[in-house]
């Protein structure tokens, strides 16, 4: 396994922009196992010396797999926690320890209930002490850490605000454990767990920067594309209280453990030609030329040797011959990605087209994780596929009830009440809606909310001309786990998707290859599809199957990654907007929009227009908007 042992930054040329040591793993699982291993080694070393290991622990989504692995090491490899003392970084304020959203609850649920730690060695800031006692309490917390001999190891996550613990922008390097006010982004990120922003506490008690910096060893975890910007800023930017995590640049035993997505914006990974020799594959050359064109503001065909030489790309032109040849080659590649025929153009020469001309009428299966990703992400393309005569099927993978607000459910219940339908059930549901902070909606309420989304999705597809018998609501069971963190795919999920694929035997599958959605639903939906493709790849129909990935509402592909770009006319943009409007429960008061307050149709439109502008700025034709796809080879 890759070592995460600390190395002083600045020693390796390729990392010259990086001021914090970091190790990149293919996935969060592998990274978490390496971190758990380091913690286990520390605990065992201390055991042998008859000492306590003092651990600083974090909550949130980042450390969950580290805790899973520690539990596994305890159960299967006899790792004991009898000699472990823990101090948690933070707790919301005010917050009762038995609240399901408290960090107390989290720590017992994800770690302490499953290991042999002595409860008196566990310390988590208390969120329910009176305000007048907080100052005294925080001093005592510091004192307890000091008396335990200081932190041997501190585990951290990083917030998109750049916070560590709950040390938000503006925190001082000398800060100690104290009461703080949470940043808006932090509250937005916590909103889903609290069923809405208004329920998220405004304050928290957190260890200070100085408290954290005194730890002998610090490991910060960051997973997923959502963290890529803040990771780059923290590792490559200057130290600033605006991004408190940058203080870690001063700590000489800190390692960031990242997955590939979180590391994707580091210079050595995003624009590697700046820091090292690269292998000029087609995709890498395309990436470099698009980058150069965007950086210089020149269309591709106007780039000269000068621009290449002045921007670390002399190697690329010497490899390709000349700027002139390279420009034309890349320009043509991009030109060939554009097509108004996403299902292939009948009777046309398809040598340079993204899709085959034949069969003329294709069976198309569109997978949509939630019951609206289809129209948001590829409404224009879906419309074209139907209009161009293909047999279009749409499958919604999860029920999507979590994103239906109580207000919306109430509206529908009232309609039903008005119609006089089954009074007892309606009254029970009306009562349930009165309960604030419910742990999970009852099965009936979820069914109602899911029903709302089904009706909306069906209406949108009817508007686009998809036949009702071609619409499938798969209601994959992984979505039903009571907490987002606990969602795991099972063979049942895979079977359901595989049955559908085997029944339809599609020529084309469109699916969300989008890894940045807030709850990981898209990621799990994608993993299920990958497994299904693996299972069916030897079947005869799979030989003729093209898989196209689209990105969801949160993200877009980079130009160099795009294999098919489908332009839209102004009228098609409007039609797509109408299709999105059918998803009324996702309008206005959408529950999980993240920190972007625009409605989904606005985001989709802006993103599609931006993509068209980007193509145009590279020197390609000017379109109103575009949707993008990447081919997935299996
Ligand atoms: C949690 C904590 C926070 C989180 C950070 C990232 O104890 O102190 O700093 O580590 O907000 O949260 P996730 O891991 O949920 O992205």
pLDDT in tens, 291-316: 999 999 999 999 999 999 999 999 99
- Is residue 356 assigned to a domain? no
Which atom, in ligand 1's list, is nearest to the CA of 227?
16
CATH of the domain at 119: 3.40.50.1360
Asked if the structure places residue 419 within a domain, the reply is no
Q: Does the beta carbon of 60 sit less than 6 angstroms from any atom of ligand 1?
A: yes
Task: Tell me how far apart the alpha carbons of residues 540 and 544 are, in angstroms, rounded to a whole number.
Answer: 8
The predicted pLDDT at position 415 comes to 86
58 ligand 1 Cβ < 6 A: yes
Q: Where is the domain boundary, 217, 239, 268?
A: 268
What stretches in the chain show pLDDT beneath 50? 518
Asked if residue 117 belongs to a domain, the reply is yes
- Tell me how far apart the alpha carbons of residues 308 and 295 are, in angstroms, rounded to a whole number: 11
Pocket flag, ligand 1, residue 157 (CB < 6 Å): yes
Structure confidence at residue 588 (pLDDT): 60
Look at ligand 1, atom 3, and give the residue with the nearest C-alpha: 165
pLDDT at 211: 98
Could you tell me if 380 and 241 lie in one domain?
no
Cα–Cα distance, 280 to 320 (Å, whole number): 9
Instruction: Kindly state whether residue 3 falls inside one of the protein's structural domains.
Output: no
Task: Give domain status of residue 621, yes or no.
Answer: yes
Give the atom of ligand 1 at the shortest distance from the alpha carbon of 163: 9
Same domain, 292 and 256: no
Lookup: tokens for 421: 């339908």
In a domain, 281, yes or no: yes
Q: How much is the pLDDT for 596? A: 66
Q: Which domain holds residue 522?
A: 363-403+443-632
Find out whether the beta carbon of 162 lies less than 6 Å from any atom of ligand 1. Answer: no
Pair (113, 232) in one structural domain: yes
159 Cβ inside 6 Å of ligand 1: yes
Is there a single domain that holds both residue 45 and residue 171? yes
Of the CA atoms within 13 Å of residue 69, those in its CB half-sphere come to 17
Q: What is the pLDDT of residue 594?
A: 56
Q: What angle do CA 106, 450, 433 make, to 5 degrees?
A: 65
Quick one: which atom of ligand 1 is closest to the CA of 167? 9
What pTM does this model have? 0.87
DSSP string over 122-171 = EE---TTS-HHHHHHHHHHHHHHHHHTTS-SEEEE---TTS-BTTB-TT-
- Domain's final residue, options 243, 268, 293: 268
CA 503 – CA 495 distance, rounded (Å): 12
Q: Are residues 133 and 197 in the same domain?
A: yes
**Do 246 and 280 fall within a single domain?**
no
Q: Is 289 in the same domain as 196?
A: no
Catalytic residue, from 18, 38, 168, 624: name it: 168
153-156: strand order across its sheet: 21-25, 254-259, 218-222, 153-156, 53-57, 84-88, 122-123
Cα 480-484-485 angle, rounded to 5 deg: 120
Distance 114 CA to ligand 1 centre (A): 21
The pLDDT, as a whole number, for residue 517 is 55
How many domains in the chain? Answer: 3
In a shared domain, residues 473 and 547? yes
Whose CA is closest to 234, among 183, 332, 162, 317?
162
Strands in 402-476 per DSSP E: 471-473
Round to whole Å and give the CA distance between 192 and 196. Answer: 6
C-beta of 254 in contact with ligand 1 (< 6 A): no
Q: Give the per-residue pLDDT at 598.
A: 80
Both 223 and 331 in one domain: the answer is no
Pairing state between β 254-259 and 218-222: parallel
Query: How many angstroms does the Cα of residue 62 sit away from the middle of ligand 1?
Result: 7
Q: For residues 180 and 127, what is the distance between their CA atoms, to the nearest angstrom? A: 12
Which of these, 307, 300, 308, lies nearest to 328 by C-alpha position? Answer: 300
- Which among 605, 497, 597 has a CA at the least distance from the CA of 547? 497
**Does ligand 1 lie within 6 Å of residue 247's CB atom?**
no
Residues 6+ apart with CB under 8 A from 319: 280
Residue 428 lies in a domain: no
Q: Are 559 and 620 in contact (CB under 8 A)?
A: no
Residue 122: which region, alpha, beta or left (left: phi > 0; alpha: psi -120 to 50)? beta
Question: Ligand 1 centre and the CA of 268: distance in Å?
Answer: 26
Ligand 1: residue whose CA is nearest its atom 8: 165
The span from the CA of 53 to the CA of 375, in Å, is 53
Distance in angstroms (rounded) separating the CA atoms of residues 43 and 51: 9
Whether residues 497 and 613 fall in one domain? yes
225 and 327 belong to one structural domain: no
Q: Are 215 and 293 within one domain? A: no
Residue 589: CB atoms within 10 Å: 11
The yes-or-no answer on residue 294 being catalytic is: no
Q: Is residue 4 part of a domain?
A: no
Q: Are residues 273 and 318 in contact, defined by beta-carbon separation less than 8 angstroms?
A: no
């Amino acid at each position: 396994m890759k070592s995460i042992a600390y190395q002083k930054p600045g020693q390796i040329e390729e990392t010259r922009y990086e001021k914090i040591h970091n190790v990149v793993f293919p996935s969060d699982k592998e990274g978490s196992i390496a971190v758990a291993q380091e913690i286990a080694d520390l605990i065992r070393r201390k055991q042998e010396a008859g000492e306590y290991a003092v651990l600083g622990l974090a909550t949130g989504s980042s450390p969950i797999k580290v805790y899973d692995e520690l539990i596994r090491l305890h159960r299967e490899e006899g790792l004991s926690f009898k000699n472990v003392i823990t101090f948690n970084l933070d707790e919301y304020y005010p917050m009762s320890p038995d609240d399901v959203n408290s960090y107390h609850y989290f720590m017992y649920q994800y770690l302490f209930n499953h290991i042999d730690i002595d409860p008196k060695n566990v310390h988590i800031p208390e969120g329910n002490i009176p305000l007048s006692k907080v100052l005294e309490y925080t001093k005592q917390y510091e004192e307890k850490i000091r008396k335990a001999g200081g932190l041997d190891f501190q585990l951290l996550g990083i917030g998109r605000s750049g916070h560590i613990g709950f040390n938000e922008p503006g925190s001082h390097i000398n800060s100690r454990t104290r009461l703080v006010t949470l940043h808006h982004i932090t509250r937005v990120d916590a909103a889903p767990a609290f069923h809405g922003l208004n329920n998220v506490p405004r304050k928290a008690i957190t260890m200070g920067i100085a408290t954290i910096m005194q730890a002998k060893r610090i490991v910060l975890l960051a997973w997923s594309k959502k963290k890529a910007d803040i990771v780059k800023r923290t590792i490559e930017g200057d130290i600033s209280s605006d991004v408190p995590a940058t203080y870690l640049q001063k700590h000489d035993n800190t390692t960031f453990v990242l997955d590939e997505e979180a590391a994707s914006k580091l210079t050595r990974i995003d624009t590697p030609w700046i820091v090292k020799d690269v292998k000029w594959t087609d995709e890498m050359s395309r990436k470099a030329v698009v980058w150069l064109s965007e950086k210089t503001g020149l269309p591709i065909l106007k780039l000269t040797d000068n621009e290449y030489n002045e921007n670390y790309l002399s190697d690329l032109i010497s490899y390709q011959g000349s700027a002139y040849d390279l420009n034309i080659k890349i320009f043509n590649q991009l030109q060939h990605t554009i097509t108004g025929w996403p299902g292939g153009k009948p009777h046309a020469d398809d040598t340079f087209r993204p899709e085959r001309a034949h069969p003329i009428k294709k069976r198309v299966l569109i997978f949509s994780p939630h019951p609206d990703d289809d129209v948001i992400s590829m409404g224009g393309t879906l419309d074209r596929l139907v209009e161009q005569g293909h047999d279009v099927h749409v499958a919604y993978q999860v029920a999507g009830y979590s994103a239906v607000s109580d207000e919306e459910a109430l509206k529908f219940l009232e309609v039903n009440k008005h119609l006089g339908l089954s009074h007892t059930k309606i009254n029970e549901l009306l009562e349930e809606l009165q309960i604030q902070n419910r742990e999970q909606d009852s099965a009936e309420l979820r069914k109602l909310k899911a029903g709302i989304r089904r009706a909306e999705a069906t209406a949108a597809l009817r508007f686009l001309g998809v036949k009702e018998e071609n619409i499938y609501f798969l209601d994959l069971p992984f979505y039903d786990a009571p907490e987002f963190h606990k969602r795991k795919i099972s063979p049942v999920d895979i079977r359901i998707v595989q049955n559908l694929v085997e029944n339809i035997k599609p020529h084309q599958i469109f699916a969300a290859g989008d890894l940045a959605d807030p709850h990981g639903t898209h990621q799990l939906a994608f993993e299920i599809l990958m497994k299904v493709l693996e299972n069916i790849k030897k079947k005869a129909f799979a030989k003729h199957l093209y898989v196209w990935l689209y990105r969801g509402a949160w993200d877009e592909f980079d130009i160099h990654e795009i294999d098919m770009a489908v332009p839209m006319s102004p009228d098609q943009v409007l039609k797509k907007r109408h299709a999105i409007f059918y998803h009324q429960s996702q309008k206005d008061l959408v529950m999980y929009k993240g920190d972007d307050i625009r409605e989904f149709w606005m985001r989709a439109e802006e993103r599609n227009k931006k993509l068209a502008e980007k193509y145009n700025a590279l020197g390609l034709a000017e379109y109103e908007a575009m949707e993008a796809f990447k081919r997935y080879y299996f």
